[in-house]
Every structure is written in structure tokens, then in C-alpha cells.
């Protein structure tokens, strides 16, 4: 499978980008149909064109160059482009090969970014696997009952938002307990897959092609007698800091909000919507703090904080407000040394952050 010249995919990406952000489904579908008719193979279209456009949607949203509506419309059209591409797939492609085996592709419970998982599912189908795609927002009980009723050789678990890592952990151990190995993938598991390893996943794949390649080496079935509990993987959780922070999220947000309002009278003039935005930002910080406590990794929090600062600055909100919020939050977590250390690391990272006019990070697919 030789990849066409990068220039060719670049041109296709630009064309698709124009159509998708213009809300022009017809042209978007035509771009990929024509490209395939011209000889671009489907895997390249999925991974080097559609996925690239989708990444750009996320980046542009973070930089405040796309509205929420445009972002959603673009994603919906991109989904339809995949559907059209798959719909056009000649049946012979799938039928003339003996299926390699059956695998299950699912998102972590609570994960709404279905596209990375969908791209993996389609690439695996192209490569001859029989794929059960469970999609986004799959409750872990559904995933487990699916495994009982099918004979999956592996589960490919996709996660984009790191705050779902505790849920992902539960899913990983549940799959392994019924004897099915788990390959984790997606941004949530860290740039080097470190969280996938920390949570005991059998494999980690940086992207769809790597996932397909790893699947070729047969994954050993985990021994059911070796079923683990949370503390076996993450012994630091005995300090209960994660449990406390996760359980008192609402209270922490409310207390921090009140403290901020007392300290900065200007905040009292916020509209309901502004106040709610602030509360949401604080809730996100608490969520990421809880997750950082869960996996015991400061980078998870600092990466998020720097990204948040970039997003805020793109919307002309001074990023210093994040530092202030961290300080106030720390006052409500005095008895939690690990949490305080994480908040200190976060504050330091924000201070060291290079001033970038254009945010480069993204959180979407």
C-alpha cells in the first residue's frame, strides 16, 4: 500500500476542509469519492485526509476560529463522508477474504468523541477483520455483556478525554476479567501511552495503523485468575485523595467560586452565563486534578492547564485567572499533600508557558 505523495493528500485535505467548514456535505462527499476514483486508497482517505481535517476542526475551535455550531456541523459532515465512503466500498473487498478474526471497538463510557474509534473500526474492516463497533458513550456493562455474547479476540478501547481514565480503568479490568485482552488508544492515554500502561492495558497503539499492526501479532488472552483490583495497579490510591476530590467536586467548585467572588468584586457583576462558564472551567480543573491524582501524574494536569490557558487567551480572557483559581482551590485542599503538589506543579507550568499567539494544542479527535 504505497501512500500517494503528501502533496496530493494536502490538496485533498484543503478541499475537504473547505467543504466541511462550509457546511457543504455534497461537495465534501464528492471530494473523497473523486479521490478514490482517481486511485487514492480508502485507508489513506480515512487516516490522512478525513482524520487530518477532523484534527484541524479541533485546533481551529481551540483557536476560536470556529464556533461551536461550525465545529459540530463540520464533525457531522465528516461523519457522513465516512458513511458515504464505506457505503461505496465494493462488497468484493470484504467478501473475497477470510475474516482475520473478530474484534470489538468501543469508546470509553462517557466519551463522546466517536470519530477516532470509528476510523480505527473502518481501517480494521479494510484490513479484513470482523469488527463490532459499539460507538461512543458505551456503558461498561454493555461492553462486558457484548463480550460474553461474542467471541472477541480483543477489545480496542478509545478515549480522547483524560478525565475518563478512571472509567477506562474499570473497563480494562472488566474486559480482562472475562479473558479478553485490551488495546488502548487515543489522546486520553497520554502521548506515549503511559496511562494505558499504568492502567494495565495489554497494548497501547498511538494511531489506527499501529493498532492494526499490533493486532496482527496475536494478543494473549489474560489469565482470568490474575484479575486485578484498582489498588493492584495504582497503590497510591490508598491515600484517598482521589476519592475525596472526585466526590466533593461540586462543593469544591462552589467554595472556590465563592472565594473568588469575595476576593474579586468584579466577578459579582458576572451574568449567569459568565458565572456558569467560570464554574464549568473550575469543574474541569477539579476533574483533571482528580484524574491526575488517580494516575499520579503531574503532566496530566499541567498539559490541561496550559491548553486551557491557550483557549482562554484565544478568547481574550487573561490566562492568569487560571493561576488565581489554582491558588484558591489549593486553600480548600490543605490536608491533601499530593493534590497540593499537583497544583503547585500546575502553577509553575503556567508561569513557564511560552507566550504563543496561536494555540497549537487541541483536544478534539
Partner 1 sequence: MGRVRGASPRVFGTSGSPVDPRSAAVSVGAAWAHAPYPVIVADRDGGLVELNAAARLLWSQAVRGDALWDTVPAWLAEAHGRFADGVPDGTGEVSGAVADRFFEAHPTPADDGDVVWWLIDDTDRRLAEAALAGARQRSALLADVSSQLLSTLNVTRCMEATARMATDHLAEAALLVAPPQGRRHQLTYAYRGGPVSQVTAPVDVHAVPGLAEALQGFPPVPARWIDPASLPSWVRPADFTEPVGSVIVAPLPGHGVPAGALILLRSSREQAFSGDEELFARLFAARAGAALSAARLYTEQASITATLMRELLPPRLENVHGVEYAGAYRPSRDNERIGGDFYDVHPGTGPTEETLVVLGDVAGKGLDAAVLTGKIRNTLQALLPLATDHERTLTLLNCALLSSHHTRFATLVLASVRRLGSTVELRLTSAGHLAPLIVRSDGTVEETATRGSLIGALPKVTSATANVTLRPGETCLLYTDGVTEARGGPLGDELFGDHRLKRVLAECAGMPAEAVVERIQMLTAQWVGSGSHDDVATVAISAPRGADLTMAGGQGRVGSTMYRRNG
Q: Rounded to 5 degrees, what are φ and ψ at 29?
A: -65, -40
Q: Is 71 or 344 the residue whose CB approaches partner 1 more closely?
A: 71
SS3 sequence, 209-247?
HHHHHHHHCCCCCCCHHHCCCHHHHCHHHHHCHHHHHHH
Q: Is 136 in the site for partner 1 (CB under 8 A)?
A: yes
Report if residue 34 touches partner 1, rule: CB under 8 A. no
189 DSSP assignment: G
Stretch touching partner 1 by CB under 8 A, among 68-76, 187-195, 231-239, 334-342: 68-76
Query: What minimum distance in Å lies between the beta carbon of 86 and partner 1?
Result: 10
Helices (H), 38-67: 42-44, 51-62
DSSP label at 255? Answer: H
**Contact call for residue 90 and partner 1 (CB under 8 A):** no
Distance CA 348, CA 106 (A): 37
Grid cell in block for residue 49: 485526509
Does the protein bind partner 1 through residue 118 (CB under 8 A)?
yes
Region near partner 1 per CB under 8 A, out of 4-12, 50-58, 80-88, 195-203: 80-88
- One of 170, 178, 298, 317 touching partner 1 (CB under 8 A): 178
Question: Which sign, positive or negative, has the C-alpha torsion 346, 348, 350, 354?
Answer: negative
Binding residue count for partner 1, defined by CB under 8 A: 59
Contact 183, 207 (CB under 8 A): no
Q: Toward partner 1, which CB reaches closer, 132 or 299?
A: 132
Mark 247-266 with x for binding to partner 1 (rule: CB under 8 A) and - for no binding: --xxx-xx--x---------
Over the window 282 to 311, marking each residue x when it contacts partner 1 by CB under 8 A and - when it does not, the resulting string is xx----------------------------
Say whether residue 84 binds partner 1 (CB under 8 A): yes
Min dist CB 63 to partner 1, Å, is 18
Per CB under 8 A, 76 contacts partner 1: yes
Q: What is the DSSP string of 118-156?
A: HHHHHHHHHTT-EEEEEESS--HHHHHHHHHHS--SEEE
Choose which of 64, 79, 207, 296 interacts with partner 1 (CB under 8 A).
Answer: 79
Least separation in angstroms between CB 114 and partner 1: 7
When asked if residue 98 is in the footprint of partner 1 (CB under 8 A), the reply is no
Sketch the per residue contact string, 304 through 343, with partner 1: x for CB under 8 A, - otherwise.
----------------------------------------
Q: Which residues pair with 185 in a beta bridge?
A: 158, 205
Q: Which of 65, 63, 49 is nearest to 16 (CA)?
A: 49
Please name every residue paired with 191 in a beta bridge, in sequence order, or none if there are none: none
Out of 40, 44, 54, 138, the only residue in the binding site for partner 1 (CB under 8 A) is 138
- Based on CB atoms, which residue is closest to partner 1, 130 or 194? 130
User: Which C-beta is closer to partner 1: that of 87 or that of 334?
Assistant: 87
Alpha-carbon gap, residue 251 to 248, rounded angstroms: 5
220 binds partner 1 (CB under 8 A): no
> Which helix (H) or strand (E) is 103 found in, with range?
strand 102-107
Retrieve residue 154's grid coordinates: 480483543
Instruction: Please report how close the Cβ of residue 113 comes to partner 1 at its closest, in angstroms.
Output: 10
CA dihedral 144, 149, 152, 156 (to 10 degrees): -30
60 interacts with partner 1 by CB under 8 A: no
Contact 274, 257 (CB under 8 A): no
Nearer CB in complex with partner 1: 145/262:
145
d(CA 51, CA 118): 10
Per rule CB under 8 A, is residue 9 in the interface with partner 1?
no
Residues near partner 1, by CB under 8 A: 23-26, 29, 67-69, 72-73, 75-77, 79-80, 83-84, 87, 109-110, 112, 114, 118, 133-142, 145-151, 177-179, 223-225, 227, 249-251, 253-254, 257, 273, 276, 279-280, 282-283
Amino acid at each position: 500500500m504505497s501512500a500517494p505523495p503528501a502533496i496530493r493528500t494536502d490538496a485533498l485535505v484543503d478541499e475537504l476542509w473547505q467543504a466541511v467548514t462550509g457546511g457543504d456535505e455534497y461537495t465534501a462527499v464528492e471530494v473523497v469519492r473523486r479521490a478514490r476514483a482517481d486511485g487514492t486508497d480508502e485507508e489513506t482517505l480515512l487516516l490522512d485526509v478525513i482524520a487530518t481535517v477532523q484534527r484541524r476542526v479541533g485546533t481551529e475551535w481551540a483557536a476560536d476560529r470556529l464556533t461551536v455550531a461550525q465545529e459540530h456541523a463540520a464533525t457531522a459532515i465528516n461523519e457522513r463522508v465516512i458513511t458515504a465512503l464505506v457505503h461505496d466500498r465494493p462488497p468484493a473487498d470484504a467478501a473475497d477474504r477470510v475474516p482475520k478474526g473478530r474484534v470489538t471497538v468501543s469508546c470509553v463510557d462517557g466519551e463522546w468523541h466517536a470519530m477516532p474509534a470509528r476510523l480505527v473500526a473502518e481501517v480494521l474492516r479494510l484490513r479484513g477483520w470482523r469488527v463490532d463497533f459499539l460507538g461512543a458513550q458505551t456503558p461498561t456493562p454493555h461492553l462486558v455483556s457484548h463480550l460474553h455474547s461474542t467471541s472477541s479476540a480483543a477489545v480496542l478501547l478509545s478515549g480522547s478525554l483524560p478525565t475518563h481514565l478512571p472509567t477506562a480503568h474499570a473497563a480494562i479490568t472488566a474486559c480482562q476479567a472475562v479473558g479478553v485482552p485490551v488495546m488502548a488508544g487515543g489522546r486520553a492515554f497520554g502521548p506515549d501511552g503511559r496511562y494505558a500502561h499504568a492502567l494495565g492495558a495489554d497494548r497501547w497503539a498511538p494511531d489506527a495503523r499501529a493498532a492494526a499492526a499490533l493486532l496482527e501479532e496475536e494478543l494473549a488472552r489474560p489469565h482470568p485468575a490474575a484479575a486485578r483490583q484498582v489498588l493492584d495497579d495504582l497503590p497510591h490510591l490508598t491515600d484517598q485523595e482521589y476519592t475525596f476530590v472526585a466526590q466533593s467536586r461540586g462543593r469544591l467548585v462552589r467554595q472556590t467560586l465563592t472565594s473568588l467572588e469575595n476576593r474579586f468584586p468584579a466577578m459579582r457583576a458576572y451574568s449567569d452565563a459568565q458565572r456558569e462558564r467560570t464554574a464549568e472551567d473550575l469543574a474541569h480543573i477539579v476533574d483533571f486534578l482528580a484524574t491526575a491524582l488517580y494516575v499520579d501524574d503531574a503532566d496530566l494536569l499541567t498539559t490541561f492547564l496550559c491548553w486551557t490557558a491557550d483557549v482562554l487567551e484565544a478568547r481574550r480572557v487573561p490566562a492568569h485567572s487560571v493561576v488565581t483559581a489554582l491558588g484558591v482551590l489549593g486553600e480548600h485542599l490543605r490536608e491533601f499533600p499530593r493534590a497540593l503538589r499537583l497544583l503547585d506543579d500546575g502553577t509553575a507550568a503556567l508561569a513557564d508557558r511560552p507566550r504563543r499567539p496561536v494555540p497549537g494544542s487541541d483536544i478534539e479527535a
